[in-house]
Structure 1
């Protein structure tokens, strides 16, 4: 076993990497947030609804085409790098890259010829131009995902974060420009312009990934070369197949939601155009707001994959437990203030930011369950880092089944509120199952008061202060909303410090562990 790479230093530490990714995700969320505001104000929620209808199907196809390899690749690279097996690191990356390039091209050709039939599955036939444009991005994203899994496994989070930010800037600027350019031709062509922005962003992302790979060549060239064996394929497949099925189940669920919700809204009594607009408010506004805290949870989940794999490879079980608990606590502390803000200020936030106060209806419902969405993501990252891909698949299937069943039965009764409750209940059940599995795998015992009790007390104080300040505020505009959020956030932080729910070591987020 050649170990010429043992002296190489990997990228950032676990929490430094998470902090870097959090900053990148935060910038991307701001860009995406402004992007959606401008789209809805300049083009309208109907165009956003068309784009959001086809995007889940594209995501589903992308998940199937990438076959779960990026996550499996990140775990295997982290494990082998921790043991200094650099030749095997090169093997697994080379194998993944070849597969993903071929897969991206094959799926693009299949969908191109099947597009006329697939277009009939959507509730609104005007999604066809955007669907055709999105196909161009498939081979680019598949190829790029191999590099990103490799960088993630090596914990090269800085260059990876830079690539994500640049890609988002290109996507936002070109997407809005092209949507406005095509708008005179119709709403459907404006949605296609948004899709072209995504294609251009992915193309730039691939170019940057190639440049990063060139700079990271010492990792790739370290160690003795090894021929590819059947064992390499089986090792990759053992992790990739259940990861693929889990991500495909998520994409399939989102696709069915995009198809099902407009139809069930029509059963509720809405017209086709009203259903499309309602779905745009729900998916393009309410869920966009709920996903804001995922700037942190996405970073934590990504850091967990190599972090847990590394500790597992070294058989350091105390480190596994400590990293898991810290990830859960960061998720709870960062997610609760958003949940409270959405619960008490749903209509005001939707009105002031998007000029669509109606989106406050699903947003207020989602506020009751959004913390479980955030914990679901973090716990899935922990399970993937532990190699428990089958468990993650099982909980994902449970989440999707509950979500779709609630949407089907409650949307005709409660309208868009029924769809929102489907998301809440699915996330609650899957998060509970994930926590149970993590406890079984690494004997994770935690103090409920420390993890939930004190943060919930701080969140309650924040909510009461917002409610009180609302009563003495004459009308709410930008300034008043900002003031309410800042005052609520300050009270939340002060309460956390007074109850010692926020240890000093968590304030130094980039601390090495």
Structure 2
């Protein structure tokens, strides 16, 4: 595979991944306006289960399958490459059927154990997704192993688009029946989306199957690796990769098992506890997903560059990419943290105008969660580096530690009535700090890379502080005149512009790095005319 085609494939997956993440975050904002905090409490009780499987089908299993397929194709073992596909399909089909049966027939027991029996219909509605999501991973991995990234991107976008449209439509249609049914309607979209994604992939596969089978028929006889060995290798790659990029989903899954019961222990009724949980996970949470998507795109784009440098033992190129990844994580994380903290209340009112009281109550959760974005960005970037170094499994240790810290603190703090779900937000941030610092330490211990903290941290920090001052001045100057929504939107735009200018003025971004961007030469010329560089 030549460099050009590799970069093109990486770009296709990167762009599709960002669009999918943003669409998913945007979906839950109108949904929360439709079904409110109580409805989002029911929805969020079951959604983390789907997200974890989705990440497995998007990152973990396809990465493992594509790696195994491409290795065999490179050695001319066409039949064994196809055998990897067939065995993976059988394994994922079994996993999907078991997941469907467990969550469909055990729905009542599961939601009762989670302390939120009102989520029963939502759990039933999401169970078909658990059957089809694993199957998507097989086709995606197989196509990626053949260096064909288009099918994955098309299926991701199709799945998410249908999920958004169907979910919002069914939520509105079932709203008159009550919030438990409306939440189930939203999760129907979550099941319909993967079905559409699988259908798209099957159509593409059958269109290409004849040419594939012709190659298989003409290939020479070759010794076959045992099924057990293939499946063991699949798991050894898929599991750590999935876990490594599942920081927030795994923490959210842990929260589901703890928060509802601890809120009721603190003296809240079931209905109050469900509403509080909806404010945290269904209203504040989606806002955090947007910067998380940007950080994840950085992490994924780092993998091939780090892997290439590591494979040829080019330490200078490796150090350069690691330092650039770290600086990019800070450049993304700092403004997101400062911006969301400074405008937590106004942003919640902007996003959820139909649920004003719930949005106001959720604002402190967003403020707290925002403080963890820097560490989330750092953690995910370092995971991408560890994957590129061929050591994704070491990130499992740091994630496990962070999840344990999050679980213990969530249990303790959420049970304090005065803190309630704000205690869970504090616990999440503490977990992210642990994971971010540990992953940073693991990369440093593995590579010995030295960082310029003045360039990577201090200068972006100064830029973020100046940005925050402008944001607050613009917002509080304009709000009495044009209202919250316009004042918030304009202050965000001004803040973004000021931050970019400060990055250039403090030389946090160099001219040669700007050239690497699309239309970089033109951008350099424009910035020079504006005397920004």
Instruction: Please report the TM-score for the alignment, with normalisation by the length of structure 1.
Output: 0.87
Larger CA deviation: 29-38 vs 384-393: 29-38
Structure 1 residues 313, 101: closer, same or farther in 2, change over 3 A? Answer: farther
Deviations 1:356-379 (A, max 9, x none): 222211111111111111221222
Distance between the aligned counterparts of 2:56 and 2:14, measured in 1? 27
The CA distance in 2 between the partners of 1:96 and 1:308, in whole Å, is 28
Deviation for aligned residue 1:346: 0.2
| Structure 1 residue 159 displacement after superposition | 4.4
Q: Is 2:233 the counterpart of 1:228? A: no
Using the TM superposition, give the Cα deviation of residue 266 of structure 1 relative to its aligned residue in structure 2, in angstroms. Answer: 3.1
How far off its partner does 1:341 sit?
A: 1.3
Distance 1:434 1:183 in 2: 44
Deviation at 1:172, TM superposition (A): 0.8
Partner of residue 204 from structure 1, selected from 196, 220, 224: 196
1:348 to partner: Cα distance:
0.2
Counterparts of residues 50-449 of structure 1 (less than 5 Å): 50-59=42-51, 68-76=60-68, 87=78, 90=82, 92-151=84-143, 156-213=148-205, 226-230=222-226, 231-243=229-241, 253-355=251-353, 356-413=359-416, 414-449=419-454
Contact kept, 8 Å, 2:279 with 2:362, in 1: the verdict is: yes
Distance 2:147 2:513 in 1: 20
Where does residue 488 of structure 2 map in the other structure?
Answer: 481
8 Å Cα contact 2:50-2:129 kept in structure 1: no
Cα deviations across residues 181-213 of structure 1 (Å, max 9, x unaligned)?
Answer: 222222111111111111111111112233455
Work out the number of aligned pairs and report it. 503
CA contact (8 A) 2:22 2:293 kept: no
CA RMSD across the alignment: 3.3
Change (3 A) 1:325 1:225: farther
Change (3 A) 1:401 1:445: same
Q: What SS does the aligned partner of 1:104 have?
A: helix
Q: Which deviates more from structure 2 when the two are superposed, residues 344-353 or residues 465-474?
A: 465-474
- Work out whether residues 264 and 411 of structure 1, in 8 Å CA contact, stay in contact via their aligned partners in 2: yes
- Say if 1:69 and 1:236, in contact at 8 Å, map to a contact too: yes
Output one character per residue of 1:62-89: Cα deviation in whole Å (capped at 9) or x when no partner: 77999953343345556677x6666465
Unaligned runs of 5+ in 1: 1-7
Aligned equivalents of 1:244, 1:34: Cα separation in 2: 24
> For the residues of structure 1 that align with 2:334 and 2:208, how far apart are their CA atoms?
38
Structure 1 contact 78–153 (Cα < 8 Å) conserved: yes
Structure ranking higher on relative contact order (CA contacts 8 Å, 6+ apart): 1
Q: For residues 177 and 109 of structure 1, what CA distance do their matches in structure 2 show? A: 26
- Answer whether contact 1:144 1:205 (CA < 8 A) is retained: yes
Bigger mean CA offset, 261-270 vs 456-465: 261-270
Deviations 1:370-389 (A, max 9, x none): 11112212222222333323
Q: For 2:270 and 2:159, how far apart are their aligned partners in 1?
A: 34
Deviations 1:257-295, CA, capped at 9 Å, x for gaps: 113112223344433222211111111121111111123
Contact 1:65 1:107 in 2 (8 A): no
TM-score, scaled to structure 2? 0.84
